[in-house]
Chains A and B, each alone.
Chain A
Amino acid sequence: MKPIDYIRIWLACARYSVVRTMMFRFDFIMWALVEFFWMAVNLLLIQVVYDHTDSIAGWSKYQMLLLVGSSMLVQRFIMGFVWTNLFEMARNIRTGHFDFFLAQPGNPLVMVSTRKLDLDGLANAVVAIAVVAYALHQLGIVPSFSGLALYVLMIFCGFLIHYGILLITVSLTFWLGAAQGIEGSYFTLMEFSRLPRQAFKGVTSVLFVWLLPAVVVSNVPASALIHGFNPLNTLWLLAVTLFWLSFAVFVFNRGLRRYASASS
């Protein structure tokens, strides 16, 4: 299949997702509200902590807001574009319905990852963008076009990293038969992306800054907006993206070899 064919299929899937969402409007509103409330919860935490301190690891309130907003943005895109698809993939591997994707003429990973869109997640991406914009406004930062383009690229890298982590977790189903606590592991890791890198010391720094891609995802884009382009940070983010994405694709392909389909 040519790349244009994938785009056509994705557009058809997106259209189908929109129609489906419009059929269950109440559900859409409820889930959009759920995500919105959880975002508000995180913002409230910042407000309360900064009511009692001026800085966390050298980050001021609005810098922190920018950091949390960036982390939210990556998470909303994950929720909007791939979460349901990957979540269902684990179930399909267990039940044998994964055959359906293997029978399609495209790359199984692309087919499985792009089947559905969650509009509630995407609706809240707008809220996350508003949080980032508000933080920038309060900090008096007006990013240049290139600065903004770099930020978008970095958020995209963050998206790919998180996609990789989720894919690895879900691919474990090929071996384990059940990916228990998949949401748990993802959300636990994501929680650390709301903290400034400088707050991590000792073992936690090794684990969450260097070994696991929790901190890099949000800290590098937020720092780029606050302090400008930093080639070392950018390279670090690109390297981490490349590593986790390739590793995830490798794990998925190895898992695929183990897939035995369902007995009939």
Chain B
Amino acid sequence: MMTSLAKYRHAFLVGLQSNIVYRWNFGIRALFSLFHLAFVFILWGAAYSGQTDIAGFDLNQTLTYFIVILMMQFFIGAQNEDYQISEDIRNGLINQFLLKPINYYLYRFSIFVAARMVSGLLALIPLIIALPLLKDHIVLPDELWRLALGLPAMFMAAIIQFTIAYIFGLLTFWFLEIQSFIILSLAIETVLGGQLFPLDLMRDRMNWLFNLSQYLPFYYQMYFPTAIFTGRLDQASTLTGLALQTFWVLALLAFAQFLWTRGLRRHTAVGG
């Protein structure tokens, strides 16, 4: 068991080192996301003009939601894992994993965790710089259960994020070009993952879409943990959500394993 863990610890450490090399890329990305935050502040600031409440939340609560979701993107969001996996398959790099006692999913997941630690910590820098401007807008509930349930939700959200990216990467077994699939899915994830607006805002006029979204995995990517932390979900809904999130984690893992075995049947390893 320990030797088995040691393999992935090494993968994690290598991942840490290689991601630190790309610190500028992450830094630039984090800087751009601050601009996105400015867009959000301008849009919602204007939407709140003349009213103090939208769907039961004030302006600062809504802005806090977007700040937390931004942090989520850097700490648990899959970024280019799908492309990396796709490249591994295309270049035949996965061949080496087929011959060694290492699980490709766990290997990639270890690197993903390392990458998110680096990108998450780097994203904190521009946020800390912007803190004097942001701090008056951050309003977080102080109930302890939110932390106790929010952290496992965040961890499972990371697994869902990564596994979806992994699944898209595996599509390379069948398709030469997967970029369009990825960007298409990104559009769906952006909406149904709550990155565009808090999903509960659809309750009034588009309740059907809100209800539907709760049964899809995207809801459990970003929106669910963010909604727990920012007070947009009560305890009962959180517990139900955790059960559904667990289901999606298991279902996606099973589907990924299925695709991996089916994909390998199509895969041809050439050369030595």
B183 at the interface (CB under 8 A from A): yes
**Is the Cβ of A199 less than 8 Å from the Cβ of B32?**
no
**Is the Cβ of B36 less than 8 Å from the Cβ of A33?**
no
Binds A, one of B188-196, B244-252, B264-272: B188-196
Q: How far is the CA of A66 from the CA of B183 in the complex (A)?
A: 25
Contact of B36 among A30, A47, A188 (CB under 8 A): A188
Q: How far is the CA of A37 from the CA of B47 in the complex (A)?
A: 24
Binds B, one of A51-59, A130-138, A239-247: A51-59
B212 at the interface (CB under 8 A from A): no
Q: How far is the CA of A47 from the CA of B191 in the complex (A)?
A: 13
Which residue of chain B has its CB nearest to the CB of A28?
A: B180
Chain B interface bracket (under 10, 10 to 19, 20 to 34, 35 or more): 35 or more
**Is the Cβ of B28 less than 8 Å from the Cβ of A195?**
no
**Is the Cβ of A57 less than 8 Å from the Cβ of B49?**
yes
B141 at the interface (CB under 8 A from A): no
Which B residues are CB-close (under 8 A) to A204? 38, 42
For window 138-183 of A, CB contacts with B under 8 Å fall at 180-181
Give the dominant DSSP class at A's interface: helix
**Is the Cβ of A44 less than 8 Å from the Cβ of B29?**
no
Q: How far is the CA of A45 from the CA of B36 in the complex (A)?
A: 14
For window 173-203 of A, CB contacts with B under 8 Å fall at 180-181, 184-185, 188, 191-192, 195-196, 198-200
**Is the Cβ of A30 less than 8 Å from the Cβ of B46?**
no
A9 at the interface (CB under 8 A from B): no
Contact of A53 among B47, B181, B188 (CB under 8 A): B47
**Is the Cβ of A199 less than 8 Å from the Cβ of B42?**
yes
Interface centre among B46, B48, B55, B190 (most CB of A within 10 A): B46
**Is the Cβ of A180 less than 8 Å from the Cβ of B43?**
no
Contact of B46 among A27, A52, A57, A184 (CB under 8 A): A57
Which A residues are CB-close (under 8 A) to B51? 53
Contact of A34 among B42, B45, B48, B183 (CB under 8 A): B183
A interface size (C-beta, 8 A): 32
Contact of B39 among A49, A57, A191, A198 (CB under 8 A): A191
Q: How far is the CA of A118 from the CA of B25 in the complex (A)?
A: 28
**Is the Cβ of B36 less than 8 Å from the Cβ of A191?**
yes
Contact of A195 among B39, B180, B184 (CB under 8 A): B39
Give the dominant DSSP class at B's interface: helix
Interface flags for B250-262 (1: CB within 8 Å of A; 0: not) read 0000000000000
**Chain A: minimal CB distance from B170 (Å):** 18
Q: How far is the CA of A37 from the CA of B187 in the complex (A)?
A: 6
**Chain A: minimal CB distance from B176 (Å):** 10
Which residue of chain B has its CB nearest to the CB of A39?
A: B187
Contact of A44 among B36, B45, B196 (CB under 8 A): B196
Q: How far is the CA of A126 from the CA of B249 in the complex (A)?
A: 40
B54 at the interface (CB under 8 A from A): yes
A41 at the interface (CB under 8 A from B): yes
Q: How far is the CA of A40 from the CA of B196 in the complex (A)?
A: 12
Which B residues are CB-close (under 8 A) to A192? 39, 42
**Is the Cβ of A56 less than 8 Å from the Cβ of B32?**
no
**Is the Cβ of B43 less than 8 Å from the Cβ of A38?**
no
Which A residues are CB-close (under 8 A) to B47? 49, 52-53, 56
**Is the Cβ of A181 less than 8 Å from the Cβ of B184?**
no
Q: How far is the CA of A176 from the CA of B42 in the complex (A)?
A: 33
Q: How far is the CA of A221 from the CA of B52 in the complex (A)?
A: 32
For window 1-50 of B, CB contacts with A under 8 Å fall at 24-25, 28-29, 32, 35-36, 38-39, 42-43, 45-49
**Is the Cβ of A34 less than 8 Å from the Cβ of B196?**
no
A48 at the interface (CB under 8 A from B): yes
Which B residues are CB-close (under 8 A) to A34? 180, 183-184, 187
Which residue of chain A has its CB nearest to the CB of B44?
A: A49
Which A residues are CB-close (under 8 A) to B29? 181, 184
Q: Which residues of B contact A (CB under 8 A)?
A: 24-25, 28-29, 32, 35-36, 38-39, 42-43, 45-49, 51, 54-55, 177, 180-181, 183-184, 187-188, 190-191, 196-197, 201-202, 204-206
What are 19 pairs between A and B in contact, CB < 8 Å? A27-B177, A30-B181, A47-B205, A48-B196, A48-B197, A48-B206, A49-B197, A51-B201, A51-B205, A52-B204, A53-B47, A53-B51, A56-B49, A181-B28, A184-B29, A195-B42, A195-B46, A199-B45, A204-B42
Further pairs besides A195-B39, A199-B45: 9, Cβ < 8 Å: A37-B184, A45-B196, A45-B197, A49-B47, A52-B54, A52-B55, A181-B29, A188-B35, A188-B36
Closest 10 A/B residue pairs (Cβ): A30-B180, A37-B187, A199-B46, A57-B46, A51-B205, A56-B46, A52-B54, A188-B35, A184-B32, A53-B47
